[in-house]
Amino acid sequence: MQNQIGRAFAAIVLAGGLAACGHEELPAAEGADADGFSPATVTTQAANAAVPMPDDYLDGEDAARRGLIAETDLVVTREDGRRVWDIPSYDFIEGEAPPTVHPGLWRQASLHSVAALFEVVPGIYQLRGFDLANMTLVRGKAGWIVIDPLTNKQTAEAAWAFAMDHLETLPITAVIFTHSHVDHFGGVHGIADALADDAQIVAPVGFTAEATSENVLAGPAMQRRAGYMYGRNLPRSPRGHVDTGLGKTPAFDGQIGILEPTLIVDHTGQTEMLDGVEFVFQNAAGSEAPAELTAYLPATKAFLGAEIASRTLHNLYTLRGAKVRDALRWSDYIEQARTLFEDAEVFVGQHHWPVWGRERVQRFLTEQRDTYKYIHDQTLRMANNGMTPSEIAEAIELPTSLRRGYHNRDYYGTLRHNSRAVYQFYFGWFDGNPAHLNPLPPEQAGKRYVELAGGPAALVEHAQTAFDAGDYRWAAELLDHLVFSGQADTDARALLASTYDQLGYQAESGPWRDFYLSGAYELRHGMPERVMNMADTAGLLRHIAVPVILDSMAARLNGPKAEDTELSLILSLPELDESHYLWIENAVLHHRASTSDDEADVSLTVSQDLFVDILTQQVSLGDLIGGDGLQVDGSRLKLIKFFSLLDKPDGVFAIVEP
């Protein structure tokens, strides 16, 4: 994105127009909209207008709509009226890109704005636009094999019902979870009624543990950041959320669940007959997800690529916050699939639309393979020459041969943040400069920068000059210091919000756009009151191993409060036939399996449902003591003390201000 903006700037300078880039030049009719988002400045308009779009290449409108059977204006709501999915809210996406949206993202968004059932090849169908990911259906002998039942019970239900309106109504004979990300399994309860009694549930090795634990330990902060990444609170509009680059934004108000697999794929080349269809699997653990599989169907020469390749540059690092991914390993898996399944005539991904034709599939996989390897190799090359993450991010650019492919563009991941991810993978957060070893935290630094600038008014003047020159990254840096100093007035906050607007409008990446615009939104309207729908994840939490839950409790223990506390507890869950011994020592919460010899200050016996309710904060344990749902032996005082030492993070915290 930034390289293109760089070129746009160059074009403006060459045309002698930079001086005319002030925001005063805007058409008078375009004021702020209802949510306060500002219009595109002349600089932003010029930057977006100057984005070079490659010639149609490997895809385009034809491919995105190829095989369309039936389309729907899908709106999915829950009984209480909460909207889970709303395709018509994207009706504004048509025609040329408005000046407030990067034309690359607009193009991707246009191709995603349809909810429909498609025939990929005879016997293979896809439901696209019913959720962030696709649901793929393969016709078996006796019924349907469902690949990835979407994120939510509600959207999965709607997608399945729509498919059955247009295809043969048959039971589901197998479900395949391609990987451990929630957009690929969370909706399984929405198709549960159609499952045949002997339906196989197929998943890659490590699936359940990864699927249930990924968001437990760091859940609240990830949820909050995911709200930014997917533009949870943004309006769907040319000045708001347009697309994630991967699909439309996932529903935060649907119900999430999981089923235990009955058949595990643990090695590449594993061949299984599912309802009369031969599947040759690839175990791609540690590619785009820690547990992931792909599959080849020899009969139809279809390569079901899950998410190891997609029609976007994907994330080596996810902005919501996640462990970084191994670019080299990921690239190797793509190469393995390309050679192993070289006869493939169609690539069927779990996001976006397929790639048809053997040669095109080969070229697509080759270019995806090389994009990740290029980022990996060049980041290390530059790092070994002494460059630091910011410098590498500024310098890295794909070679022309890779840049021309739409599927390598920055719609979701970006070159910039992916190169930082590679750096982090090898070197961690520290760039080696001692000035960055122990920097002042934002509030302290902010106060000093404001003083250095000559006070708040002087800093705003500098920032306004930068803004008027279209130098939004610098304006953001200056105003961020002011906001964190605690001395920003309404006008200064509004200027930072407008700065984020422009940065968002110029971003090709959906998540970058949503991050900037979410920041702008919260500067204008404040934080959301609620971040997590913990109750909706209960269907997932029931499958989490208890030790993982206890680890997450340990990560909630308030260290300073727990100083000098020594306490032990036996937790029994009779339904699971599990008993755990927990103790606090040195302000650390430990746990291990309990033995009959254990003696503790207090013993707690609780049903699994109640335990999940406590964890999802639907009830507080303090309120339950003395009730019927649980049994306490020993010191109740110590039990209350124990739970009083645990933080109750709700994920509501400030991001763009102190």
Contact residues for Zn ion (CB under 5 A)? Answer: 133, 181, 183
CA–CA gap between residue 248 and residue 129 (Å, rounded): 7
Using CA atoms, how far apart are residues 508 and 413, in angstroms rounded to an integer?
A: 10
CB atoms within 10 A of CB 116: 21
In the complex, minimum distance from the CB of residue 322 to Zn ion, in angstroms, rounded to a whole number: 13
CB of 183 to Zn ion, least distance (A): 4
Which residue's CB is nearer to Zn ion, number 351 or number 416?
Answer: 351
CA distance to 101, 295, 586, 611, 619, per residue, from 603 (Å): 58, 48, 21, 14, 19
Burial class (CB in 10 A: 0-12, 13-18, 19+), 586: exposed
C-alpha 420/C-alpha 416 separation (Å) is 7
Closest CA to 476 of 485, 490, 486, 466: 466
The CB-of-182 to Zn ion minimum distance in angstroms stands at: 9
Of the candidates 602, 593, 587, the one whose C-alpha atom is nearest the C-alpha of residue 645 is 587
* Residue 72: CB minimum distance to Zn ion, A: 21
Secondary structure of 183-223 as H, E, C letters: HHCCCHHHCHHHEEEEEEEEEECCHHHHHHHCCCCCHHHHH
CB of 462 to Zn ion, least distance (A): 42
Residue nearest to Zn ion (CB): 183
Residue 197 identity (one-letter amino acid): D
Residues 6+ apart with CB under 8 A from 220: 531, 532, 649, 650, 651
Q: How many CB atoms lie within 10 A of CB 192?
A: 18
* Nearest residue (CB) to Zn ion, 219 versus 349: 349
Q: List beta partners, residue 567.
A: 584
CB of 440 to Zn ion, least distance (A): 39
CB of 218 vs Zn ion, minimal distance in Å: 19
DSSP string across 570-606: EEEEGGGTEEEEEEEETTEEEEEE--TT---SEEEEE
Closest contact distance (angstroms) between CB of 320 and Zn ion is: 13
The length of the chain, given as a count of residues: 658
**Measured from the CB atom, is 181 or 416 closer to Zn ion?**
181
Q: Do residues 176 and 203 touch, judged by C-beta distance below 8 A?
A: yes
Structure tokens at 569: 């507890």
528 and 233 Cβ atoms separated by less than 8 Å: yes
Token duo for residue 14: 């060459």
The tokens for 536 are: 């909706």
Closest listed residue to residue 137, CA positions, set 129, 152, 149 = 149
* Nearest distance from C-beta of residue 214 to Zn ion, angstroms: 13
Q: Smallest distance from the beta carbon of 179 to Zn ion, in angstroms?
A: 7
- Between 112 and 181, name the residue whose CB sits nearer to Zn ion: 181
Report in angstroms how near the CB of residue 642 gets to Zn ion at its nearest.
Answer: 39
Q: Quick check: 310 and 292 in contact, CB under 8 A?
A: no
Element (H, E) at 2: helix 2-14
